[in-house]
Amino acid sequence: MLSTDIVDTLVTIFGGGVRFMLAEGKHYKTIWPNKALSGVTIIDQTYLPFEFKLSELTSLDEVVEAIKFMRVRGAPLIGVTGAYGIAIALTNNSNDQSLANAKKKLIESRPTAVNLSWAVTLMFDQLKKEVSSNRASIAWMLAEKIANEDIKINQTIGEFGYKLFHKVKKPQINILTHCNAGWLATVDYGTALSPIYKAFKEGLNIHVWVDETRPRNQGMSLTAWELEQENIPHTIITDNAGGLLMQRGEVDFVIVGADRISIDGNVCNKIGTYLKALAAKAHNIPFYVAAPLSSVDLSYHGENNLFDIECRDEDEILKVKGMDSSNNLTEVKIGYSSAYNPAFDITPAKYVTKIICEKGIYNPGDIGKVLE
């Protein structure tokens, strides 16, 4: 265990002055370390929107389970959780083997979002140079730094994105988003939703079409819940409704997050993103991607992916979760055939209008150069 002095120092260095997003009227981040620096508290997203439940993770296995089971999810947040996972593992055992084992287990827990391997590798590379006795305290500092940088990056993405929103000269701006790229997918603010929060705060008359995002319904369960907490006008639609709304002129632009971006601007994101990009292109509607530069994979270029596209359990398709009439969370079976459940797809750069990151707004083909 580490002293509370270190925690106070961490808060002073990294934690001051940040406005966290609203959940049930209070301001929260999605993850934070406990005072003893022995674990982290997370918002368990598998209960939303029905219950707001916090949970503590104090071992590497608990962190790996939370990522795999999607108690925490969203590319930036699983990166930060992975970083804290290294700190937790080293608090329990700081030798070389423990460090290497934590790196391997965490990276394998969800393969598609590059932010996880980015954060874990960053931690590993710094910590392997340190003597074992110093590793845990340094790991907590580094993880906290990555978490706080995520907040600042997302706030900046919001400011850049807002400039694009502002250009739409209409009495009401209709925005379509897919999956959840809000504060629940990051430590705070979100990526695709960050400009939406900023625009609403600045008084723009916005309305958000929220794709339900089958099979796990992150749009309906998480994005809609987030927008509700902030009183932002929104409507849930089925994943298949976007085309019709675009045809009718009821979508001014689309904005989504990303799990991995190639250096030439191809975007891997939640399954269904590609179809929205195709429809947007057909209707000449801007298609924006908002993501931190840590989502750019320097080893990935071209439309074909060489990384693993996560294929998840068929039960995510064949079962749905909900609240029964007695207010109990329950799951019901809705199909009996076998099902195929790839979780992400790739939107070619030619369908992406702009990528918004913490350095500004770029043509997709230029995103790799920003890292140089």
Q: Which residues are designated catalytic?
A: 259
Q: Which long-range contacts (CB under 8 A, 24 or more apart) does 47-56 make?
A: 47/329, 48/184, 48/221, 48/222, 48/225, 49/220, 49/221, 49/222, 49/224, 49/225, 49/228, 50/322, 50/323, 50/329, 51/329, 52/23, 52/24
Strands 319-323 and 253-256: unpaired
Cβ of residue 47: shortest distance to ligand MRU, in angstroms? 15
Residue 78 and residue 82: Cα distance in Å, rounded?
6
Closest chain position to ligand MRU (CB): 257
Residues 243-302 that bind ligand MRU (CB under 6 A): 256-259, 269-270
Candidate residues 10, 21, 75, 146; the one interacting with ligand MRU per rule CB under 6 A: 75
Cβ of residue 9: shortest distance to ligand MRU, in angstroms? 29
Both structure tokens of 312: 């998840």
Of 135 and 312, nearer to ligand MRU (C-beta) is 312
Cβ of residue 115: shortest distance to ligand MRU, in angstroms? 8
Of 153 and 263, nearer to ligand MRU (C-beta) is 153
Residue 200 and residue 228: Cα distance in Å, rounded?
13
Number of chain residues interacting with ligand MRU (CB under 6 A)? 18
Stretch of residues binding ligand MRU (CB under 6 A), selected from 130-138, 183-191, 329-337, 363-371:
183-191
Backbone dihedral angles phi then psi of residue 311, each to the nearest 5 degrees: -115, 120
Please enumerate in sequence order all residues whose Cβ is within 8 A of that of 207, keeping only pairs 6 or more positions apart, or say none: 172, 173, 174, 175, 233, 234, 235
Stretch of residues binding ligand MRU (CB under 6 A), selected from 52-60, 73-81, 276-284, 359-367:
73-81
Residue 219 interacting with ligand MRU (CB under 6 A): no
Cβ of residue 267: shortest distance to ligand MRU, in angstroms? 10
Residue 347 interacting with ligand MRU (CB under 6 A): no
Candidate residues 343, 346, 352, 355; the one interacting with ligand MRU per rule CB under 6 A: 343
Question: Which residues here bind ligand MRU, judged by CB under 6 A?
Answer: 73-76, 113, 179, 181, 185-186, 191, 218, 256-259, 269-270, 343
